[in-house]
Chains A and B, each alone.
Chain A
């Protein structure tokens, strides 16, 4: 297949994978596209190295929203870091610390060269001399694929690129921007205090731009084929495609590339996920919200559209549960509490308290004062951590109180609508045992 054909087709990142919905959703291919495959499929990225004006022109026509979780517009990030030029360091974040996310590992396994292209295009365009690819400690196979890819293209990139690995003892916060900087610097890999953006004193005390690996792969496609091509897929709400990790209520998951603007209900239906037996859908991961299945028909795959509804895709996680949504919230808050780096008082004190309160809510009984207490502790925790993890617990708590008020009423009256169904939303070793 020539790059000419590729440029007309959907899937993009999912090239070579089986289609789920024709021209709208596809699985990813699984075999690594090595250097020769990559070059014959896409051609060399060299013409786009050092081309900041080209990059900005394309991004002015079609925005890429960051795929690590915050959905920050890439054009604004580039704008913020442009003034640092030669002193700048770029880190590609492939930590993927979100437990239910698999898309970054799947992307790096399939398209290591596209991610490296994106990193090199961005670094050379901004005048950065060094690039880092930061990976999850637990996935040695991915690190090996990336290392082989770098060896294959030795001497090709005008930027020095190094691989680094996250600290296994840090857990969930290891994917935070500042934790990546700390890890690359050999300073432990916990979040550090870097409240201001752009980050002026990051890796080696130099200005540091951190970007998710999928964002970089998307950037590499945009630079190659241009904004007109890129926006040939999607809707006015958002153009292009994105990777999602979809997890069914039996715990099985799949990484898919979907067209922006696709309806979530339509996607889940095409994946044969039965919403009849679903109690809640986790949208965006532990940093997102559990939404009632009845709302799924209103959801479309688009960062700005979901933001308008107070929702988000986070790191691209959609997970379906058939368990009690109050219990699920409780389990996720308990997990987040277990993941605190123990650095900030409001987090390492507040999250266990919040977890205990949710545990009480998950058990049938008189819970009115407990709900008030959840709101009070949420107010104490919000915005007071060095990273945003505690905020995630607050956001989930608040939304679950709102969305599942009727289930809370049932608990208040001594019942529960969902007894005896397994949860797959949190790692088993932090689960307290499902009733």
Chain B
């Protein structure tokens, strides 16, 4: 079975816009200061489209999907 793609945030690029957490509340929380905390890095198939949307929409291009 193929491994699930993984979600990764570039903390240097991230400016805490928080859009990723809006789109993926199942995988991402925001910390006290509005920066994303990845709860689960494995992206289940049913959330992959939404994750790809988060990757495209992030204003600082800090969201990354690593396909295995």
In Å, the complex CA distance between A346 and B31 comes to: 8
B-side contacts of A293, CB under 8 Å = none
Q: Is the CB of B8 within 8 A of A346?
A: no
CB proximity to A under 8 Å, residues B1-31: 8, 10-16, 31
User: Does any Cβ of B come within 8 Å of A17's Cβ?
Assistant: no
CB proximity to B under 8 Å, residues A365-404: 377, 380, 384-386
In Å, the complex CA distance between A85 and B34 comes to: 43
- Count of inter-chain pairs, beta carbons less than 8 A: 43
Q: Which of A344, A377, A380 contacts B11 (CB 8 A)?
A: A344
Contact with B along A319-346 (1 / 0, CB 8 A): 0000000000000000000000001111
User: Does any Cβ of A come within 8 Å of B37's Cβ?
Assistant: yes
Q: Is the CB of A346 within 8 A of B12?
A: no
B-side contacts of A349, CB under 8 Å = 32-33, 35
B-side contacts of A347, CB under 8 Å = 11
Q: Is the CB of A386 within 8 A of B12?
A: yes
Q: Is the CB of A385 within 8 A of B32?
A: no
A-side contacts of B10, CB under 8 Å = 193, 386
Q: Is the CB of A380 within 8 A of B32?
A: yes
Q: Is the CB of B37 within 8 A of A384?
A: yes
CB proximity to A under 8 Å, residues B29-68: 31-35, 37
Q: Which of B12, B15, B31, B33 contacts A192 (CB 8 A)?
A: B12
Q: Is the CB of B33 within 8 A of A345?
A: yes
User: Does any Cβ of B come within 8 Å of A251's Cβ?
Assistant: no
Q: Is the CB of B32 within 8 A of A386?
A: no
A-side contacts of B16, CB under 8 Å = 345
User: Does any Cβ of B come within 8 Å of A191's Cβ?
Assistant: yes
Q: Is the CB of B31 within 8 A of A385?
A: no
Q: Is the CB of A193 within 8 A of B32?
A: no
A-side contacts of B31, CB under 8 Å = 345-346, 380, 384
Q: Is the CB of B33 within 8 A of A385?
A: no
User: Does any Cβ of B come within 8 Å of A292's Cβ?
Assistant: no
User: Does any Cβ of B come within 8 Å of A350's Cβ?
Assistant: yes
Q: Is the CB of A191 within 8 A of B12?
A: yes
B-side contacts of A353, CB under 8 Å = 32
User: Does any Cβ of B come within 8 Å of A420's Cβ?
Assistant: no
Could you tell me the distance in whole angstroms from the C-beta of B30 to the nearest C-beta in chain A?
10
A-side contacts of B33, CB under 8 Å = 345-346, 349-350
In Å, the complex CA distance between A386 and B13 comes to: 9
Q: Is the CB of A344 within 8 A of B32?
A: no
Contact with B along A171-214 (1 / 0, CB 8 A): 00000000000000000000111010000000000000000000
In Å, the complex CA distance between A385 and B10 comes to: 9
In Å, the complex CA distance between A141 and B13 comes to: 36
In Å, the complex CA distance between A195 and B11 comes to: 10
In Å, the complex CA distance between A192 and B31 comes to: 22
Q: Is the CB of A195 within 8 A of B35?
A: no
In Å, the complex CA distance between A199 and B37 comes to: 25
Q: Is the CB of B34 within 8 A of A345?
A: yes
For A345, the closest partner residue in chain B by CB is B35
Could you say which of A343, A353, A377, A385 has the most chain B C-beta atoms within 10 Å of its C-beta?
A343
In Å, the complex CA distance between A277 and B31 comes to: 42
Q: Is the CB of A344 within 8 A of B8?
A: no
For A195, the closest partner residue in chain B by CB is B8
Interface of B with A (CB < 8 Å)? 8, 10-16, 31-35, 37
Besides A345-B11, A345-B33, A349-B33, 12 other A-B contacts (C-beta < 8 A): A191-B12, A343-B12, A344-B35, A345-B14, A345-B16, A345-B31, A349-B35, A350-B33, A380-B31, A384-B31, A386-B10, A386-B12
Complex A-B, nearest 5 residue pairs according to Cβ-Cβ distance, in ascending order: A345-B35, A386-B12, A349-B33, A344-B11, A343-B12
